[in-house]
Amino acid sequence: MLFPSPLTDIRRFFYSSKVVPRLPREVDMHYDPQAFDFSHLAKEPISEEIETYTRYSNLTQLQLSYWIMQKLQPKMSIHSIANCFVIDGEVDVRHFQQAFQVLVNASDTLRLIILEQDGIPQQYIAPYRAYDIDVIDCSSSPDPFMEFQKAAARRFHKLFDFSHRLFDSALFKLSNQKYVWYFNEHHIIGDAWSRTVLYRRMLELYELSLQHKLHCGKTYPQFSQYLLHEMAFRSSLEYKKARQYWEKKLSNGNNVGLFSQKRHYKLTGEMCWISYQPGKERVERVKALAREQKFAAFSIDMALFVVYLSLLFLCLYHITGQRCLSLFTIFHRRQSQQFQETMGLLTKESVIQLRIEEEDTFLSLLAKTTTEVIETLTHYRYSVLNPPTTRHQTVYFVTQNSSYHPQNGFGTASIRNEFLAEGYSYESLCVEIENFNQLAYPAFNFYFRTDMFEPEEQQQIIRQFEQTIDTFLENPLRTVG
pLDDT, average across residues 249-268: 60
CB 38 within 8 A of CB 71: no
Q: Enumerate domains of the chain plus CATH numbers.
A: 5-225 (3.30.559.10), 250-474 (3.30.559.30)
Furthest CA-CA distance within the chain: 68
H or E element that contains 86: strand 80-88
Q: Give the pairing type, strands 5-6 and 120-125.
A: unpaired
| Position 23 pLDDT exceeds 60 | no
Q: Higher pLDDT residue, 3 or 472?
A: 472
CB 264 within 8 A of CB 452: yes
| Position 468 pLDDT exceeds 60 | yes
pLDDT score of 198: 94
pLDDT, average across residues 457-475: 94
pLDDT score of 269: 67
Q: Give the pairing type, strands 134-137 and 167-175.
A: parallel
| Average pLDDT of the chain to the nearest whole number | 78
| Position 324 pLDDT exceeds 80 | yes
Q: Nearest CA to 396 among 435, 352, 361, 440?
A: 352
**Strand-pair partners of 273:** 447
| Confidence band of 143 (pLDDT split at 50, 70, 90) | very high
| Position 304 pLDDT exceeds 50 | yes
pLDDT score of 386: 56
The Cα 324–Cα 309 span in angstroms is 15
**Considering just the CA atoms, what is the radius of gyration of the chain in Å?**
23
pLDDT score of 116: 92
pLDDT score of 307: 92
pLDDT score of 461: 94
pLDDT score of 40: 35
pLDDT, average across residues 421-436: 74
- Tens digit of pLDDT for each residue in 202-238? 989 998 999 898 876 678 999 999 999 988 888 899 9
| Confidence band of 160 (pLDDT split at 50, 70, 90) | very high
In percent, the amount of the chain with pLDDT more than 90 equals 35
Q: Helix, strand or coil for residue 280?
A: helix
The Cα 229–Cα 385 span in angstroms is 19
pLDDT score of 29: 28
CB 185 within 8 A of CB 343: no
pLDDT score of 385: 64
| Confidence band of 43 (pLDDT split at 50, 70, 90) | very low
- Tens digit of pLDDT for each residue in 358-409? 899 999 999 999 999 988 888 888 877 655 445 545 677 877 654 443 443 3
AA letter at 370: T
| Confidence band of 255 (pLDDT split at 50, 70, 90) | low
pLDDT score of 335: 82
